[in-house]
Amino acid sequence: MNPTPTRRLSANSPHGTALAGLAAACLLASGCTGSDGSDTGKDTAPAGKAGAAGIKVALITHSAPGDAFWELVRKGAQAAAAKDGIDLSYENDPDAAGQAELVRDAVAEGVDGIAVTLAKPDAMKGAVAAARAAGIPVVGLNSGIDAWKSGGLMQYFGQDESVAGRAVGDKLDDLGAKHALCVIHERGNVAVEARCAGVKKSFGGRTEMLYVNGTDKEAVTDSVAAALRQDPAIDEVVMNGAQFALAAVEAVKEAGSGAEVATFDLDKDLVKAVRSGDVQFAVDQQPYLQGYLAVDSFWLYETNGNVSGGGVAPVLTGPAFVTKKNVAAVARFAADGTR
């Protein structure tokens, strides 16, 4: 195991006040559709409302350094922590065993709540069980929608990836696509695998899976370009991350292919690509909202005993399609680093 450095991040954010009302509305509705820093040290947010001040929450994800998607999750979590007066730490490790160890560390530190992603649920079972045994509530976000209840988590915030994948397959049919290449950049990641499986299930045309090394973007470009050269009939490339979609755009150019590029997930650079037409559409699962709701859920639970979804249903944050027709509506939020 070669874990990445952990990060402890400030909970302060200028967006907390503006989005507090939105997050509360989303929670009451039981579902909304809609650069990784290198900070070290641990900062405490300003005092929150009575009954919540002093809550310590650990957000622990399977992210890798430099991924803009997880920066959005972090910003949302910080905004909620600043609004609620929560002492928030954020740590990450893309290695499942390393992530589980970070959860055990949080348990040993005696935090009041843990928000965790379940990209590889089996690897997290023991660590989550240790938190439960210590009386620490755990909520899930982003990955593991099919595993959070059986794993003993209290709540879940994210996108149903199977539903999102099927929605993409339906959209490809509407757009007249015939042959899709769905690119998986992390073998065994339940969320990414479920997306491509969903595309294949609903798309009326042919769907092929291509596994690539997501830690090497040049290798991703080369692999996609090679697949397009080998089979010129591919007319749609479906990626599973904004940065990978931009790599696919380069691959299409290198291969001299006429294939369109679509993707799951969104960031400010991807917004520009949708506006220009380089990327046909993106599926936005709203990572800022996932981080916000996950952290805010501990404040609601502590101050009012609320459990979103009643503890039996997930709170959905997507899928929301972003196309050239509606991209202007989210562009200004993307420019602010929150979409």
Reported as a single tens digit per residue, the pLDDT across 166-199 is 999 999 999 999 999 999 999 999 999 999 999 9
Distance CA 249, CA 29 (A): 37
Sheet arrangement for strand 87-92: 87-92, 56-61, 113-116, 138-141, 155-158, 315-316
Nearest by Cα to 241 from 72, 78, 81? 72
**So what CATH class is 161-284?**
alpha beta
Q: Which helix (H) or strand (E) holds 92?
A: strand 87-92
pLDDT string in tens for the chain (339-residue length): 333 333 333 333 333 433 344 343 333 333 333 334 334 334 333 333 445 568 999 999 999 877 889 999 999 999 999 999 999 999 999 999 999 999 999 999 999 999 999 999 999 999 999 999 999 999 999 999 999 999 999 999 999 999 999 999 999 999 999 999 999 999 999 999 999 999 999 999 999 999 999 989 999 999 999 999 999 999 999 999 999 999 999 999 999 999 999 999 999 999 999 999 999 999 999 999 999 999 999 999 999 999 999 999 999 999 999 999 999 999 999 888 899
Here the tokens at position 245 are: 């979609």
Angle (deg, nearest 10), helices 327-335 and 268-276: 150
DSSP 184-213: ESSTT-HHHHHHHHHHHHH-SSEEEEEE--
> What is the residue type of 50?
A
Supply the pLDDT for residue 295: 98
Supply the pLDDT for residue 53: 63
With beta carbons less than 8 A apart as the criterion, state whether 266 and 290 touch: no
Distance CA 151, CA 139 (A): 10
Supply the pLDDT for residue 77: 98
Nearest by Cα to 59 from 195, 157, 149, 150? 157
Q: Which helix (H) or strand (E) holds 222?
A: helix 217-230
Q: Cα angle vertex 275, ends 271, 278, to 5°?
A: 90
Q: CA of 166: how far to CAs of 194, 200, 270, in Å? A: 10, 8, 22
Cβ count within 10 A of residue 64: 16
Q: CA of 267: how far to CAs of 190, 212, 248, 263, 339, in Å? A: 22, 21, 15, 11, 6
Q: Where in the chain is the domain with CATH 3.40.50.2300?
A: 16-159+286-319, 161-284
- Burial bucket for residue 292 (CB in 10 Å: 0-12, 13-18, 19+): buried
With beta carbons less than 8 A apart as the criterion, state whether 8 and 100 touch: no
For 16-159+286-319, CATH number?
Answer: 3.40.50.2300
Supply the pLDDT for residue 27: 37
Angle (deg, nearest 10), helices 242-255 and 268-276: 40
How crowded is the C-beta side of 215, counted as CA atoms within 13 Å? 7
Would you give the distance in Å from CA 296 to the centre of its chain? 17
Q: Cα angle vertex 118, ends 114, 122, to 5°?
A: 110
Here the tokens at position 278 are: 């380089």
> What is the residue type of 321?
F
With beta carbons less than 8 A apart as the criterion, state whether 117 and 81 touch: no
Cβ count within 10 A of residue 71: 19
